[in-house]
Copies of this chain bind each other. A is one copy, B any other.
Amino acid sequence: MGNKISTVINFDWKPDRKNQLPLSKQIVNYITERISRGDWLIGQKLPSQRDLAKTLNVNRSTIIEALSELNSLGIIEGNFGGGTTITNNTWSLLFSAATPNWKSYIESGIHKANFPTIQAINKLEFEENIIRLSTGEMSPDLFPHEMMKKVLGKIPSRAFSLNYIEPLGLLELRKALSNYLKSFELDVTPSQILIVSGSLQALQLVSISILRPNSTVFIEEPSYVKSLHVFESTGMQMKDVPMDENGLIPWMINKSNIKNDTSILYTIPTFHNPTGLTMSLNRRLEVLRWCKSNQLPIIEDDAYRELWFDELPPVPLKAHDSTGNVLYLGSVSKSLAPGLRIGWVAGPEPVVERLGDIKMQTDYGASSLSQWALTEWIESGLYEEHLKSFRTQLINRRNFVLSFLDQYFADLASWNVPKGGYYIWLKLNLSISTEKLFELAINENILINPGNLYSFTKNPYLRISYSYASLDDLAVGLKRLSEIIRSL
């Protein structure tokens, strides 16, 4: 199925300067040992000479010496400038048996590898000095550190053990959520709520629990789920539904693609990812009516709801759902801390129980520590308190970024003014390949998410997030990005 094995190997090691063995010899020994043990595989690449010298903290001449020896041993091959590849692991009689053919295992696995751009983003996000203009997370500066300290202090007196939890999740948390969700005009009992390890896991559970190969999943065009393989890897087909400024347009759904009892609609009606749009009240009612009359169930992903700026968004589709048509997904990943890995699904009891049964079979439930922590956050009122200050800081960040867009991008792009959430959907005027822009920006230590991650067609969009980078980084990054675009 073409999942490529990762190519460049990692060094977590440095030669020992106190060792009597020459540095280059130590390097040769280390590399041969790692290869002979099967930690590194044939086909993997070594880092460039420059990177090796830097990582191992030795002179480049030492690296050249070591690579020459490895080459003469027949262990590596290739142009030393960049592409040194492991070619052999059987040079020694001691290691005459080959390792299993892991390459073949990896390449034929069921689940698709992440898109290369996403893999690159996942790793680059942990590089130092990179300016992250698109990251869909809250800035570490905004993390409510003191409140979390209070919450953690309360856990020992509540959680007398950290054992496995019942299939739907911690009852105390489900009760707290059942109560909290009333503020969104949702009326769901604790038995209708399943705790999951974030909304992405909810989608994964939906795909393996209530859909089947060839099921159709209708999604907004664009949509952040296109950057994932969660539906595709289990054989489902994603079909686009166009959006206008009021949200997705249900009557544009091609009815002939609705297969009986196998299709579902996935939507982020509030502060949509990536466009920042919010579905109007009227459109919500129309979507519900249309889906009801076509027996098309809805997954409503409401992760951004609490991050409104000037006015409350319309209540969830689920609040108007009188026939059990909507599976409602919530999460604290955007509003509090993604690292808790806690979200929830609310819907008809048998569906929620089915998802819970499969969750038990895949990971035995979400972290109890995280579940107790969130229970305490909600019950203590600290969660609401945090949201108030978080909203204010997000508005300031949005305004800050809008002022820089006005300053640097007025003639380069157009954009929406989001009323909540994290994102500005920037449309470039010029016909530039945003994938090319992605690469040029990385060379300048700027990380952006090009629009083609959210759409199956090439498009002139970038997702800009005002939630993550520091204000300084946002200012510098946007200026530099505008200069790169101008240089094209």
B363 near A341 (CB under 8 angstroms)?
Answer: yes
A338 near B163 (CB under 8 angstroms)?
Answer: yes
Q: CB-nearest residue of chain B relative to A171?
A: B126
Q: How many copies does the complex hold?
A: 2
Q: CB-nearest residue of chain B relative to A230?
A: B361
Q: Which of B38, B163, B208 contacts A325 (CB 8 A)?
A: B38
B212 near A108 (CB under 8 angstroms)?
Answer: yes
A111 contacts chain B at the CB level, 8 A cutoff: yes
Q: CB-nearest residue of chain B relative to A293?
A: B97
Expressed in whole angstroms, the minimum distance between the Cβ of A208 and any Cβ of chain B is: 4
Q: Which of B95, B200, B333, B350 contacts A5 (CB 8 A)?
A: B350
Complex-state Cα separation, A262 to B367, whole angstroms: 32
B341 near A109 (CB under 8 angstroms)?
Answer: no
A341 near B367 (CB under 8 angstroms)?
Answer: yes
Residues of B within 8 A of A125 (CB): 164, 166
Expressed in whole angstroms, the minimum distance between the Cβ of A332 and any Cβ of chain B is: 10
B295 near A100 (CB under 8 angstroms)?
Answer: yes
Encode A344-366 as 1/0 by CB contact (under 8 A) with B.
00001111011001101111111
List A residues 344-395 near B (Cβ within 8 Å): 348-351, 353-354, 357-358, 360-370, 373
B99 near A324 (CB under 8 angstroms)?
Answer: yes
A251 contacts chain B at the CB level, 8 A cutoff: no
Complex-state Cα separation, A100 to B360, whole angstroms: 25
Expressed in whole angstroms, the minimum distance between the Cβ of A320 and any Cβ of chain B is: 11
- Count residues on chain A whose CB falls below 8 Å from chain B CBs: 121
Q: CB-nearest residue of chain B relative to A291?
A: B100
B97 near A323 (CB under 8 angstroms)?
Answer: yes
Encode A153-167 as 1/0 by CB contact (under 8 A) with B.
101100111111111
A102 contacts chain B at the CB level, 8 A cutoff: yes
A228 contacts chain B at the CB level, 8 A cutoff: yes
Q: Which of A149, A340, A364 has the most CB of B within 10 A?
A: A364
A323 near B108 (CB under 8 angstroms)?
Answer: no
Given known A-B contacts A100-B296, A211-B110, A350-B44, A165 and B3 have beta carbons under 8 A apart: no
Residues of B within 8 A of A262 (CB): 105, 108
Q: Which of B38, B119, B201, B353 contacts A323 (CB 8 A)?
A: B38
Given known A-B contacts A105-B297, A123-B166, A148-B162, A114 and B322 have beta carbons under 8 A apart: no
Q: CB-nearest residue of chain B relative to A236?
A: B110
Q: CB-nearest residue of chain B relative to A341?
A: B367
Encode A175-215 as 1/0 by CB contact (under 8 A) with B.
00010000000011111100001101100100111111100
Q: CB-nearest residue of chain B relative to A264?
A: B105
Residues of B within 8 A of A234 (CB): 110
Q: List 6 A-B contacts (CB under 8 A).
A: A100-B295, A103-B350, A114-B360, A122-B357, A148-B162, A339-B367
11 new A-B contacts, CB < 8 A, other than A102-B351, A110-B211, are A10-B191, A101-B295, A102-B350, A110-B213, A123-B166, A145-B160, A152-B152, A164-B339, A229-B361, A341-B365, A341-B366
A interface residues, Cβ below 8 angstroms from B: 3, 5-6, 9-10, 12-13, 36-41, 44, 94-95, 97-106, 108-111, 113-114, 119, 122-123, 125-126, 137-138, 140, 143, 145, 148-149, 152-153, 155-156, 159-167, 178, 187-192, 197-198, 200-201, 204, 207-213, 228-230, 233-234, 260-262, 292-293, 295-297, 321-325, 333, 337-342, 348-351, 353-354, 357-358, 360-370, 373
